[in-house]
Structure 1
Amino acid sequence: MDPEIAALAGTAGTTLVTMLTTDTWHSIRDGLVSLWQRARPDRAPAIADEISVTRDDLLGAQAVGDREAEAEVRAEWQGRIRRLLAAHPELVEELRAMLVELTPDDTGVPAVTQHATASGQARVYQAGRDVRISGVEDA
C-alpha cells in the first residue's frame, strides 16, 4: 500500500468525522461524493446516503457519550477512502486540495480533539502541540 495514500485517507477520515458533527458537514459530504461520482458514479448516491447516516450515528453517539463510535467510524471511512484512492490514484490531488480548502489553517490537517477523565487526585495535562508546565506543586 502506498504510504502517501494511506496517510491521506487517514487525514480524510479524521476530517470527515470531525466535520460531520458541525454545521459545515455538507461541505465534506459533497466533496467526497464528487470523488465517488468521478470514480464510481453508480456508488455516489449511496455514499451520500451513507455519510448522512454516519452523521446521525455520530450525533447519537455523542449524545450518550460513546467515544468508541467515533474511532470506529473514522477507521471505517479511512478504509473506504483508502480503497477508493488505491483504485483511482488520479483522485489523490483532488482530495488533497479539498482537504486544504476545508481546513481553516490550510495545513490539510484537521483540528485536534482531546478527551480526558481524571478522578480522585489525578491530574490530566493535554496539549495539541508543545507544552511547558512550571510551578506545579503537589497539593
Structure 2
Amino acid sequence: MLNEALTALAGAAGTGLVTAMTTDAWTEVKTRFGKLLGRGDSEQEARQEIRLERSRQEVTSATADQVEQVRAAQEAAWRTRFADLLEEEPEREAQLRAALDFLGQKVPVAASGAVQVNAQAFGQAQQAVQGQGVQINTFGSPR
C-alpha cells in the first residue's frame, strides 16, 4: 500500500497524462511515459506507447456529452497503473516526478480546462475560494 505522497503523485500523473493527450506535446509525452512504464524493456516500452495511444484515441473521439466520463475513466486507469508502478518499484518515484515536471513545462495550464467558481454567502457565513479562471463571490442578504 502506498503512502499518501505516492498516492497523490500517482493521481497527479494520471490527471496530467490525460490532460496532455489533447495537446501538441502529446508525442513527446507519450514517448517519455512509454519509457517510464516500459521499465527499461524496449518491447514493453512499445506496448506501453500503443496503450497510451489507445487511451488518447478514446479521449479525443469522445462526444461532447461523453468527454468528462471518458476522461475520468482514463485518469483512474492511469492513476492505478502509476500506483502499481510505484508499489512494485518505489525507486521509480524520481522518474515519475521528472515526468510530471516535464508535463508542467510542456502542457499549458489552460489545457486542463476552464475553472469557474460561483459562491454566495449570507448572514455570518463567509467563503474563500482559490483557483484560476472566473471567480464570482457574493456577500450580503439573499434577494
- Residues 110 and 99 of structure 1: CA distance in aligned 2, closer, same or farther (over 3 Å): farther
Summarize the alignment of residues 3-42 of structure 1 with structure 2, pairs less than 5 Å apart.
3-38=4-39, 41-42=42-43
| Corresponding position of 1:129 | 131
The size of the alignment, in residue pairs, is: 128
**Bigger Rg, structure 1 or 2:** 2
* Structure 1 stretches lacking a partner, 5+ long: 117-123
Identity of aligned residues (%): 27
* Structure 2 stretches lacking a partner, 5+ long: 120-128
Counterpart-to-counterpart distance in 2, 1:137 and 1:18? 40
| Corresponding position of 1:121 | none
- Residues 96 and 46 of structure 1: CA distance in aligned 2, closer, same or farther (over 3 Å): same
Counterpart-to-counterpart distance in 1, 2:9 and 2:110? 12
Q: CA RMSD in A?
A: 3.2
Summarize the alignment of residues 1-139 of structure 1 with structure 2, pairs less than 5 Å apart.
1-2=1-2, 3-38=4-39, 41-61=42-62, 63-66=63-66, 67-104=68-105, 112-113=112-113, 125=118, 129=131, 131=135, 133-134=137-138
Tell me the alpha carbon deviations over residues 48-70 of structure 1, each in whole angstroms, 9 at most, x when there is no partner: 00111111110111x43312111
Counterpart-to-counterpart distance in 2, 1:84 and 1:20? 20
- Residues 128 and 59 of structure 1: CA distance in aligned 2, closer, same or farther (over 3 Å): farther
- Residues 135 and 4 of structure 1: CA distance in aligned 2, closer, same or farther (over 3 Å): closer
Secondary structure of 2:29's aligned partner: helix
TM-score w.r.t. structure 2 length? 0.72
- Superposed displacement of residue 33, structure 1: 1.0
Structure with higher strand content: 2
Q: Which moved more, 1:77-86 or 1:95-104?
A: 95-104
User: 1:85–1:91: 8 Å Cα contact kept in structure 2?
Assistant: yes
